[in-house]
Structure 1
Amino acid sequence: MDNSFIFTIFEGLPRQGPGSNECTRKAFSMLTDLPAQPEILDIGCGTGMQTTELARICPGCRITAVDVHQPYLDDLARRAAAAGVGERITTVRASMDDLPFRNASFDVLWAEGSIFVVGFAEGLASWRRLLQSGGYLCLTEAVWFTKNPSPGVAAFWNECYPGITTVPENCAIAEDAGYEVVATFPLPESAWWDDYYTPLIKRLADLRGDPDAEALIDFSEREIAVYREHAGEYGYEFFVLRKNR
């Protein structure tokens, strides 16, 4: 599989992973004691649907949006400008495992659907230095909703993300890493379909016939089929964490 094409296949799509504006708003509503002008770092922002939503619901915030793929950042800048919030969003091209920011630079870290790239425990540990004391880390992560997943879906996840575990296990990892678990909640199935899988299905159909894309198209269609059949066994969970003072 040509991994470089993974970025290209999602260019211009609303999201590069499960999520929704409703879930973004719900998670943000759980943050208390924020300063009047909080500094937010959106890690692995993609095309930034959640970035723009954060700027809308927190008019005083300033957001630094980071991604390794420049076309995503360009798309985000255009969308933010169209939404009238572009002046409060700065884009930075950087890898999430080498973030070029000073310690304690941010009040909130945001990472919807991106921490799997570095690993849940690894991300919590390496990103913690960026937070002010008492700052928040809000992220979504793939989790099991059952302790006994079907053999087929277990094999699929063991192939693509063997680090997947349960919500309680991830909460324990977060606490060991120096965070308080403020809240967690599962993303609804609509957060997979409306702005992620449904647009992706159309994109995959448009790309059929491109020899560089065939392996990725096959894998993506398999992923969608697995979710359609086994949505009750796994999904994404929103974790709202707070750095211990």
Structure 2
Amino acid sequence: MHSELMEVFASLPQQGPGSDALSRDVMRRLNKELPLAPQIADFGCGTGRSTLMLAEEFPQARISGVDLSPEFCAVLTAKVRERGLGDRVSIHEGNMLCPEFPPGSLDLVWSEGAVYSVGFDAALSAWRELLGSGGICVVTECEWLCRDAPVDARDYWGELYPDMRSSGENAESARRLGFDVLDHFTLPREAWDAYHVPLLDALHGRESLLAAKNDISKEREMFLRYGDYFGYSFYVLKKTPAGSS
């Protein structure tokens, strides 16, 4: 990614569609599923929107943020330092499919807006091994919400994310890979606005990033026109015992 564009993304509160209220609601509902002091990893953490909320909602947790971008990791490291969280929040630059965690060492894996970059199945397969018995995996994934999407939408996502699947296909795949689906819901329009609007504002007037602005403008146009046919959805998944069906 263009270094100037990385700077723009790093300056924003979030790097993809998301809702703080909904994320916090999911975290709070997980309290009864997790130990008092859970071990948590936030994969594809970006500049820490979810990581910092996890630190607030689970005040006794040990949390690791993992991202491939050194720019994002640097921003989040500074935020952690400023908030005095360095004793229980650590940031790691690296591939989220090859994290350096022992098998069975995590109670919660969290990942918002990132699994599309590595593949839904690949992410769940890699992270299941890191979770302890009954561990929880929370991910968001861009998916088809119904089968009869217009050609324009199909063509657009066919180029941008050719492996995008339906919610039913993703849920079935999660079960096949060893998870129970505890919850599934689609993010509202406000979650896309929270990403698109600040990003387009930040790109305004930057002639060197005109192509990026056009790409984001196109994505927003497609969402405003066809948002009933695709969206980002939350999956709350629980690791099933080995050999269970």
Whether TM exceeds 0.5 here: the answer is: yes
Cα pair 1:81 1:87 within 8 Å, conserved: no
Tell me, yes or no, if the aligned pair for 1:45 and 1:65 is still in contact at 8 Å.
Answer: yes
**CA 1:102–1:218 in 2, change beyond 3 Å: closer, same or farther?**
same
- Equivalenced residue count is 240
Identity percentage over the alignment? Answer: 33
Matched, 1:243 2:242: no
Match of 2:27 in 1: 28
Q: Which residue in 1 is equivalent to 2:212?
A: 216
- Kept in 2, the 8 Å contact 1:47–1:73? The answer is yes
CA contact (8 A) 1:109 1:136 kept: yes
- Structure 2: distance between partners of 1:206 and 1:45: 28
- Looking at structure 2, the residues matched to 138 and 206 of structure 1 have their Cα atoms a distance apart, in angstroms, of 37
Opposite residue 97 of structure 1, the aligned amino acid is L
| 1:17 maps to amino acid | G
1:187 deviation in Å? 0.9
Alpha-carbon distance in 1 for matches of 2:232, 2:169 = 14
- Deviation of the 1:12 alpha carbon: 1.0
Please, which moves more after superposition, 84-93 or 63-72?
A: 84-93
* Cα 1:181/1:226, change in 2 over 3 Å: same
Matches within 5 A, 1:46-125: 46-125=46-125
Give the secondary-structure state (helix, strand or coil) at the position aligned to 1:103: coil
- Deviation of 1:7 (Å): 3.4
The answer to whether the 8 Å contact 1:27/1:238 transfers is no
Q: State the Cα distance separating 1:20 from its structure 2 match.
A: 1.7
Provide structure 1 residue ranges, at least 5 long, that are not aligned to the other structure: none
How far is 1:87 from its partner?
A: 3.2
Question: For residues 88 and 111 of structure 2, what CA distance do their matches in structure 1 show?
Answer: 18
Secondary structure of 2:29 counterpart: coil
Distance 1:135 1:70 in 2: 29
Q: 2: distance between equivalents of 1:123 and 1:101?
A: 14
TM-score, with normalisation over the residues of structure 1?
A: 0.92
**Which position in structure 2 is the counterpart of 1:230?**
226
Q: Deviations over 1:86-143 (max 9, x none)?
A: 4321000001122122111210000001011110111111221111111000010001
Cα distance in structure 2, aligned partners of 1:175 and 1:7: 36
Inter-CA distance 69–39: structure 2 relative to 1 (3 Å threshold): same
RMSD: 1.7
1:166-245 equivalences in 2 (<5 Å): 166-194=166-194, 196-207=195-206, 209-210=207-208, 213-245=209-241
State the Cα deviation string for residues 187-215 of structure 1 (Å, max 9, x = none).
11111112x111101112142x11xx333
The CA distance in 2 between the partners of 1:58 and 1:173, in whole Å, is 29
CA distance in 2, matches of 1:199, 1:229: 20
